A and B are shown apart, each in its own frame.
Chain A
């Protein structure tokens, strides 16, 4: 296992795993606490639409998927804020439309694309240096946005109280949605559309079972996200199994352990 770490592709995969584990589990606490677990799936399918558009235009799929998915995230927020529709319903509409667009874009291309398959199921071992730079950039942006945690957490607790304090709740929501959308896009390349929701939800849900405060939940979730990504990746290499799936199973082990501890404590 240690030998594997000397391989350049494995080093890139590990760095990507740590960054993706951090990003998804950090934003996951807001997704879980605001009951938007469906958002991960919705944005992952929006990312698929963006990737397909990139392939159709012969452009870099990641660079097209980033603004495409961010635009879908903004549209979901906009529809939710201006209608009586719930967040999940708005996500459901855009999820289906983006997927349909993705299928149409791919069919217009009229040639098989291995890239599309990569995005469906992910390939953390095929992470390029450019992917890593983009993911690192989003992680840096997230760290620079650290002061926003207090405001996003306040809105997660009670948006109305935040509004009475005259916080720009709607603008903060858009910012959070765009950052989650960007996180989903970089995660999709590595873990695939099918499994991305797990990266957002399982570490945060596990942390919720263990934490007494939202700050603790954030720390625990991030630790679980990073550690499970690292262990899962190394195990997947050792056992010769798909890395994304093994990481999710590592997260699931943490979740069930936390669940058992939670039951025993009660």
Chain B
């Protein structure tokens, strides 16, 4: 068993003149549930996209399961993007989105083994009844479940989620965490999730990684550590009024 699922060594990411990340180094143990915390513009999504290989750092090395990122098999990563980026005018059914996770392409027709696999993935997240529903007619929570099914369909050891709770109600959020925790338990998977929520960091995550364009801290989750990280990242404890002050 590999000791670390994700290792970042002195990562620097620049967009034009703007340094989104500087000197970011950390190591996430295999099997951890990591909450990535930080104010708006802290580089959380940039960090996640660097882990996914969508952004190439100016310098530094990212390793996944002891392999350089470029050599890591993309099918061993599941990704749940922010649902607000979805183009709802695209004509698609929920089962097609789930199946795209298997094909790494858009399905022309879904039948046989692919249909069974997609249905199983939807069932796993409690969304099998949504299979034939157009994406445009799904609520935020339903859509999030379908994206989750897509991310988990190949049973990847590493799952990355970009603010998955945004736009979904508390019941939907609870369901999502139930699915994620069950998945982590059965697959011994590593989960990395961007969140603004103190409760998520304390109650669901095993580790906290706090950034604000540089690493603030990375360690095992506890209320005291979460508060310390949030105070350093936001200037106060996150569940008070993080957005208002972060944007100020």
Size of the B side of the interface (Cβ < 8 Å), in residues, is 27
Are the C-beta atoms of B77 and A213 separated by less than 8 Å? Answer: no
The answer to the question of A165 belonging to the interface, with a C-beta cut-off of 8 Å to chain B, is yes
Residues 45-97 (chain B) with a chain A CB within 8 angstroms: 52-54, 74-75, 77, 79, 81, 85-87, 89-93, 96-97
Would you give the shortest CB distance from A206 to chain B, in whole angstroms? 13
Are the C-beta atoms of B103 and A213 separated by less than 8 Å? Answer: no
What size tier do the contact residues of chain A reach? 20 to 34
Known contacts: A150-B108, A153-B106. The answer to whether A211 contacts B91 by CB under 8 A is: yes
Contact residues in B for A167 (Cβ distance below 8 Å): 104-105
Picked from B54, B79, B90, the residue with its CB within 8 Å of the CB of A214 is B90
Are the C-beta atoms of A151 and B105 separated by less than 8 Å? Answer: yes
Would you give the shortest CB distance from B222 to chain A, in whole angstroms? 32
Are the C-beta atoms of B54 and A157 separated by less than 8 Å? Answer: no
Contact residues in B for A166 (Cβ distance below 8 Å): 53, 74, 104
Known contacts: A157-B100, A158-B86. The answer to whether A163 contacts B105 by CB under 8 A is: no
A164 CA / B91 CA spacing, docked (Å): 21
Contact residues in A for B52 (Cβ distance below 8 Å): 164
Would you give the shortest CB distance from A246 to chain B, in whole angstroms? 29
Contact indicator per residue, chain B 112-148, by CB within 8 Å of chain A (1) or not (0): 0000000000000000000000100000000000000
Are the C-beta atoms of B106 and A214 separated by less than 8 Å? Answer: yes
Known contacts: A157-B87, A158-B85. The answer to whether A164 contacts B93 by CB under 8 A is: no
The answer to the question of A110 belonging to the interface, with a C-beta cut-off of 8 Å to chain B, is no
Known contacts: A149-B108, A150-B108, A164-B74. The answer to whether A156 contacts B90 by CB under 8 A is: yes
Known contacts: A163-B54, A164-B53, A166-B53. The answer to whether A215 contacts B79 by CB under 8 A is: no
